[in-house]
Amino acid sequence: MKFLLILINIYLLVKCDNNVDIPSQSVNRTVVPYNTIVGYASTNVEAYSNGNDSQTTTEYNSLYGIFMGIKWQCVEYARRWLFIRKGCVFDSIDGAADIWTQIDYVQRVDDKKCFSVKKYSNGSPNRPQNESLLIYNRSGIALPFGHVAIIVDVLSNSIRVAEENYDSYLWIGNYSREIPYKYLNGNYYIEDKYPIAGWISIIDYNQTKPLDKYTINNIIKLNGTSPDFICSNNSIYSNNSIYSNNSTYHFISFYSYLIFIFVLLKNYCM
């Protein structure tokens, strides 16, 4: 009789486990309470538990006086990861899904330089890239604002991401989840429970770097105020050069024009 009960328990355990909807691979099931660190990614970017994925607080988080977002939402983590690892932030958006349609540049905080981004739709011929933002579309009640995670590792058939507010589980390593992708008919598809718009990479040509003591001191001198997001009116790094609409650029163009006129008049007089 005892043996029969053991078999029934094993059957029920296996049956229940098979019915559990696990959205991706490598998920730890240790639940962590709100405002507690669940793990670290990229050496020094901690992620916090939001308690549950439907909880929204009115608390805001800032780092060195720079606004990061609402605690502990996915957008807050994405902006803070970008700030700590690359010294940059992106502009305000209503929801994580809007990063895909509204964010075309990120701005370095200490000197306001801007860098363009490149967007790869899910199903791109380009393999997912490390240190990219993974953007989820809005999806009903589950993801009414979409979701954003950071790709922190790319393996042969899966990616590892870091994030907040997807679940409240303790990380098993330096990432929150491992998500499979497949290569089909020349394109790469990341396969998760919810629809993915794609991934976004920063085009910085190695011009960005993690925050260091010198940069942090410069940022603190901003007196706790984040600079206006002015990428549409500022220098953009592109093709390993700086293209700017500032006065220096116009002065050089005007100077070149004067030289051209001078040479033309000289030849005419001769």
The domain spans of the chain are: 23-256
Q: How far apart are CA 109 and CA 104, in angstroms?
A: 16
Instruction: Check if the beta carbon of residue 219 is closer than 8 Å to that of residue 64.
Output: yes
**What pLDDT, on a 0 to 100 scale, did the predictor assign at position 235?**
52
How far apart, in whole angstroms, are the C-alpha atoms of residue 148 and residue 76?
A: 10
To the question of domain 23-256 being in CATH 3.30.870.10, the answer is no
| pLDDT above 70 (res 105) | yes
Q: Judge whether residue 195 has pLDDT over 90.
A: yes
Q: What is the pLDDT of residues 77-94, one digit of tens each?
A: 999 999 999 999 999 999
pLDDT at 30: 83
User: Given this model, what pLDDT does residue 144 score?
Assistant: 96
Q: Which two tokens stand for residue 198?
A: 């794609």
pLDDT score at 165: 95
Mean pLDDT of 66-73: 95
Taking the C-alpha atoms of 110, 100, 80 and 193 in order, what is their torsion angle to the nearest 10 degrees? -170
Alpha helices (H) along 20-133: 74-86, 98-102
Segment 39-48 mean pLDDT: 97
In degrees, to the nearest 5, what angle opens at C-alpha 13 toward C-alphas 8 and 19? 125
**Residue 154: partners with Cβ closer than 8 Å, 6 or more residues away:** 127, 128, 129, 130, 160
CB 54 within 8 A of CB 173: no
Whether the per-residue pLDDT at 255 is higher than 80: the answer is: no
pLDDT(34) > 50: yes
176, 149 contact by CB (below 8 A): yes
pTM: 0.77
Query: What share of the chain has pLDDT > 70, as a percent?
Result: 71
pLDDT for the residue numbered 263: 38
Contact between 227 and 113 under an 8 Å Cβ cutoff? The reply is no
114-137 pLDDT, tens digit each: 999 999 999 999 999 999 999 999
Query: What's the pLDDT at 1?
Result: 40
Helix locations, 52-184, DSSP H:
74-86, 98-102
Q: Which band of pLDDT confidence, cut at 50, 70 and 90, is reported for residue 54?
A: low
- State how far the Cα of 197 lies from the Cα of 183, in Å rounded to an integer: 17
